[in-house]
Amino acid sequence: MGTLNMLGLAKRVGAKFLLTSTSEVYGDPLEHPQKETYWGNVNPIGERSCYDEGKRTAETLTMDYHRGAGVEVRIARIFNTYGPRMCLDDGRVVSNFVAQAIRRQPMTVYGDGKQTRSFQYVSDLVDGLVALMEGEHVGPFNLGNPGEFTMLELAEIVKETIDSSATIEFRPNTADDPHMRKPDITKAKELLNWEPKVPLREGLPRMVSDFRNRILNEDEGKGN
C-alpha cells in the first residue's frame, strides 16, 4: 500500500502515521554532516532519482496531510542500518562485504572506496523509532550513527572480523553515488533523548554470526 493510501487510512481511523524516510533525501550532500534543515542536492532525473525523489515526495505528502487534514504524523530519516536477519544478497554495502568475506569472495568496492557512510545497528534504530512515536514532535529526525567510515575502512573492519586474508575488488562507481554521508543527530538527542549506543566494531560481529550460520546452512542445502 502506497504512502497516499496509508495516509488516507490514518485519517479515517485516527491513527498516528510513521513515515520511515531516508538519508537519501539529502542526495550527494554539499553540507556535512547533514542536519534536518538541509534541503539536499538530488539529481531529479538520475539513476537513483526514483528512490530519492520518491522519499522526498512521501515527506511532502505526509506534511500535507498533517497540515491540511490534521493527521498526526512522525517522520524519521533513516541512515545506513545493519544487523542480523538482513537479506544475504540485498545489495547493501555491509551485507555485501560480510557475505562476500564469509564466502571467500573478493569484497566489491565501487569507485576509489573513499566515499563515506555512517552505520547504525538495528537495535539503535528501533529505540529511535519508539522514542519518535512516543514523543510529541513531528520531525523529521535523523536516525543514524554519526560514526563515519570510508568504504575501504569498512572493508578493513570486515576483514578483521571475518577473514584477514579477504581481498578487495574495485569496480567503476555507480551514478550519483553520494561522496559523504553522516547524520547530525543533535535534534534527536535534544527532543527525543535518543542517541545510538552500539559502535560498528561491536554490532558487526553479531551480524556476522547470523550471516555465517545462514550461509553455512545454505551451502549444506546445496550439498557443498
Hey, is 51 helix, strand or coil?
Answer: helix
- Grid coordinates of 4: 497516499
The dihedral sign for the CA sequence 199, 86, 32, 154: positive
Cα separation, 27 vs 25, in Å, equals 5
110 Rama sector, left if φ>0, alpha if ψ -120 to 50, beta otherwise: beta
In the set 51, 65, 82, 121, the catalytic residue is 51
Instruction: Answer for the pair 119, 147: CB distance below 8 angstroms, yes or no.
Output: yes
Mark whether 51 is an active-site residue: yes
Q: What is the DSSP string of 5-36?
A: HHHHHHHHHT--EEEEEEGGGGBS-SSSSBPT
Rounded to the nearest 10 degrees, the angle between the axes of helix 200-221 and helix 151-162 is 60
- Grid coordinates of 91: 545489495
Question: Nearest Cα to 99, choosing from 208, 220, 189, 222?
Answer: 208
Question: Nearest Cα to 34, choosing from 93, 77, 75?
Answer: 77
Q: What is the Cα 135 distance to its own chain's centre?
A: 22
Helices assigned H by DSSP within 104-149? 122-134
The residues that are catalytic are 51
